[in-house]
Amino acid sequence: MRDPGFGQSFTDHMVVARYGATSGWSEPEVVPFAEVRVSPAALGLHYGQEIFEGLKAYRQPDGGVALFRPDANAARFDLSADRLAMPRLPDGTFTATCIDLVRHDESFVPSVSGQSLYLRPIMVATEAALGVRAAQQYLYAVIASPAGSYFPGGVRPLSVWTTETYVRAVAGGTGAAKCAGNYAASLAAKAEATERGCDEALWLDAIERRWIEELSGMNVMFVASKQIVTPPAGGTILDGVTRKSILQLARDLGFDVVERPIAIDELFDGAFDEAFACGTAAVIAPIGTVTSPRGDATFADVGPVALALRDALLDVQEGRTDDRHGWLVRVPTTSAVPST
């Protein structure tokens, strides 16, 4: 199969449910993928009440399909909804609708290792009105897009630029919510990174501009011999499902896992051998260089620890090893060959 890239094409169906303040949530439906009609007065278009999620379905060795930790994404969707004063979905609806969509569009789940079907649930305020308040009507939708390996030509290290011009999040803000506005606000920093010849922006804390937070769409980790060090999920960073999973797998593999604030200066002192970013889309992306107004740091291009953790996680996701933590949720499909 040709490598599908990322987010380029969509499957035949989507899930749609609508919410009204008095009627509650409608029964979610799987319908043909099509444009959705919203009023130009929809509150979400004006004031940014919009949250989303990202998770993947993986082809399994028996031909079946499994979702990776959808309940963790469901819990985060609730957290994001709470933060943006949006209604939660009924319990179980998030995972059930993801399963339903994959069942309908199972033929789009690639069978090539490193490829998967990316699911994108969203919720947006649709009530037509002006005035800054929580909307009374919302649209929930799930779309799906076949995803290639993040590095089709082989794993390549990222270069990141540490911006001191912009900040992503502050305690009490929306940093821990997966909301569209966080991404909109990150684009100017991405442009700054591009100007410096770097791939992505690395965020520092908003108060001291000293403590490393994360990238715009990925968490960040550092390796010093048998230690994995990552900033704590204390309210300003997005608590990634990949982050959580890698920390668990690292413990399983005998690494010492430390969640603590990391000062940017530690990188310049050569305290770490490896740096990598992690998130659903890329799984693990090694970081080769960190450039900042205060100094630069280089790391192993593609470090052995990053690669080992990447393999360990993909082995679980693609069903090659025992799913000892119960992370896979099987999708009832017609393709699975019953094991004998």
Ligand X SMILES: *Cc1c(COP(=O)(O)O)cnc(C)c1O
Can you give the binding site for ligand X, defined by CB under 6 A?
54, 178, 214, 216-219, 238, 240-243, 279-280
The CA-to-CA distance between both ends of the chain, in Å, stands at 29
Nearest approach, Cβ of residue 232 and ligand X (Å): 14
Which residue's CB is nearer to ligand X, number 175 or number 288?
A: 175
Nearest approach, Cβ of residue 283 and ligand X (Å): 9
Nearest approach, Cβ of residue 55 and ligand X (Å): 7
Which residue's CB is nearer to ligand X, number 42 or number 81?
A: 81
Which residue's CB is nearer to ligand X, number 7 or number 54?
A: 54
Which residue's CB is nearer to ligand X, number 147 or number 241?
A: 241
Residue with tokens 């991404």: 183
DSSP-derived letter for residue 3 is -
In the three-class reduction of DSSP (H, G, I as helix; E, B as strand; rest coil), residue 77 is classed as helix
Which residue's CB is nearer to ligand X, number 50 or number 127?
A: 50
Strand partners, 13: 32
Evaluate the CA torsion angle 246, 182, 7, 128 in order and state its sign.
Answer: positive
Pairing of strands 158-162, 200-204: parallel
CB 148 within 8 A of CB 115: yes
Nearest approach, Cβ of residue 314 and ligand X (Å): 14
Distance CA 60, CA 196 (A): 41
Which residue's CB is nearer to ligand X, number 49 or number 219?
A: 219
In the three-class reduction of DSSP (H, G, I as helix; E, B as strand; rest coil), residue 263 is classed as strand
Closest C-alpha to 108, from 142, 144, 55, 151: 144
Assigned token pair, 128: 């037509």
CB 76 within 8 A of CB 248: no
Assigned token pair, 148: 């290639």
Nearest approach, Cβ of residue 333 and ligand X (Å): 24
Assigned token pair, 326: 């119960």
What are the Cα distances from residue 164, in Å, to 39, 73, 149, 181, 202?
38, 31, 32, 20, 10
Which residue's CB is nearer to ligand X, number 20 or number 181?
A: 181
Nearest approach, Cβ of residue 286 and ligand X (Å): 16
Which residue's CB is nearer to ligand X, number 126 or number 219?
A: 219
Nearest approach, Cβ of residue 285 and ligand X (Å): 11
Nearest approach, Cβ of residue 280 and ligand X (Å): 3
Q: What share of the chain is helix, strand, coil (3-state, %, to 5)?
A: 25, 30, 45
